[in-house]
Amino acid sequence: MKQARPLTITNGRIATPDGIADGGIRLVDGLIDAVGDVAAQDGDETVDARGRLIAPGLVDLGVFAIDKPAFHFGGITRAALMPDQSPPLDLPSRVSYIAKSGKPDLWVHPLAAATRDLAGSEIAEIALMREAGARAVATGRGWIADSGAMLRLLQYAAMLDMVVIAHAEDAALVGSGVATSGEVATRRGLPSAPPQAEAIAIARDLALAEMAGARIHFRQVTTRAGLDLIRNAKARGASVTCGVTPAHFMLSDLATVDFRTFARLSPPLRSEDDRQAVRGAIADGTIDVIASGHDPRGPEDKRLPFSDAEPGMAGAETLLAMTLSLVRDEVIDLPRAVAMLCTAPARILGVEAGVLELGKEADIAIVDIDKPWIIQSEKMAATAGNTPFDGQPTQGRVTALYKDGVAIDI
């Protein structure tokens, strides 16, 4: 997919690292050629943004399935795919296939499995997978219980200058738990796990990462104790980042009281105190990334008793709108929302995107941040509409999307 002729988008509000400003953008040969006070040149295609936000295409860090229509609806132009596939992404050939799979209108960045078959013991051939297109290493849905194996992984990744994306739950403490220990789980009779399982996993992995001199990203941090550990580690200069999904700043474990399996997630929904801690950590910069955790599950996985249902939610289509709710609630401002959805994940993956700067790839979303719509699971573009936000009114929609300067149907 090659841009046929230059494109100039005018009369917009531009989201740049320095803030939001009136102006436009010019795209030439798939790259950003000019930003700010731009005018169309002879032969340019022109688009009037009509005062809407001109932002980078979203970079979704850590999805479990690729749903092009859902991603395009949500303004996502790049997605980092978790290694938990069938078969897992633990061989260079599999990584290479995935790296080519979404092009030209969606770039998929495979995350290399940290261990063979994601079993948590034998380190996979990470260097070969990096050559095949892997942008980072990930432990997948699970925690590597063997501290020696985790240290070797971190040392290997540090040598290769690759970030390790870790799942933060001590598996021995989680066991068969499907909910967070507390009043809600007790009253509903659900198998539960202590929230401290997250902090214990983070504490160990942080210590090992600092020993190894490695970069580590915790894909989801959802408890006050876990966030305090991240905050303290950043204060002492550790190379650590973390993310969260909208469910954990929008919902608490009260969403599970009627046993709706759309609220069966991993990690599980937390207490209201932890939800407020997540929002505070987004506000103060402790949390770097908001990602969708896109994991569509059909009726065969969700229309089951709560304890038997598979965790996961279809999050790509609601990612932008839920993040914009933080702007309306004055938790963060609009430039920070763009940074969490675009700039920070692109920086972690090491890709030339996620920011409106000269020479960067022309992945552009035009966003009507006030456009109202209602989330309806049965009308979602994803392969399954398992969202805990079903029926919720919201605001913020992508009205136009460009990948490498070429318009994408949404």
The residue with tokens 């969403």 is: 255
Q: Give domain status of residue 383, yes or no.
A: yes
Asked if residues 216 and 164 have their Cβ atoms less than 8 Å apart, the reply is yes
Q: Has residue 383 got a pLDDT over 90?
A: no
Identify the bridge partners of residue 8 per DSSP, sorted by sequence position.
Answer: 26, 46
Q: Has residue 1 got a pLDDT over 80?
A: no
Q: Supply the DSSP symbol for 44.
A: -
Q: Give domain status of residue 33, yes or no.
A: no
Q: Give domain status of residue 283, yes or no.
A: yes
Neighbours of 308 (CB within 10 A): 11
Q: Give domain status of residue 168, yes or no.
A: yes
pLDDT in tens, 219-246: 999 999 999 999 999 999 999 999 999 9
User: Taking each helix axis from N to C terminus, what angle separates 272-284 and 224-235, rounded to the nearest 10 degrees?
Assistant: 20
Q: What is the largest CA-CA distance in the chain?
A: 69
**DSSP for 103-170?**
TTTSEEEEEEESBGGG-SSSBP-HHHHHHTT--EEE-TTS----HHHHHHHHHHHHHHT--EEE----
CA distance 391 to 143: 34
Query: What CATH number is attached to the domain comprising 384?
Result: 3.20.20.140
Q: Has residue 344 got a pLDDT over 90?
A: yes
Q: And the tokens for 219? A: 């894909």
* 2-6, 43-47, 107-111, 406-410: least confident range: 2-6
Number of domains in the chain: 1
CA distance 44 to 41: 6
Q: Give domain status of residue 410, yes or no.
A: no
Q: Give domain status of residue 347, yes or no.
A: yes
Q: What is the pLDDT of residue 16?
A: 83
State pTM to two decimals. Answer: 0.95
Q: Give domain status of residue 211, yes or no.
A: yes
pLDDT in tens, 73-130: 999 999 999 999 999 999 999 999 999 998 889 999 999 999 999 999 999 999 999 9
H or E stretch covering 47: strand 45-48
User: Taking each helix axis from N to C terminus, what angle separates 196-212 and 147-160, rounded to the nearest 10 degrees?
Assistant: 50
Domain around 241: 57-356+370-394
Instruction: Give 306's pLDDT tier (boundaries 50, 70, 90).
Output: confident
**Amino acid at site 175:** G
CA distance 138 to 226: 19
> Rounded mean pLDDT of the chain?
95
Q: What is the pLDDT of residue 103?
A: 87
Q: Give domain status of residue 192, yes or no.
A: yes
CA distance 291 to 332: 16
pLDDT in tens, 117-176: 999 999 999 999 999 999 999 999 999 999 999 999 999 999 999 999 999 999 999 999
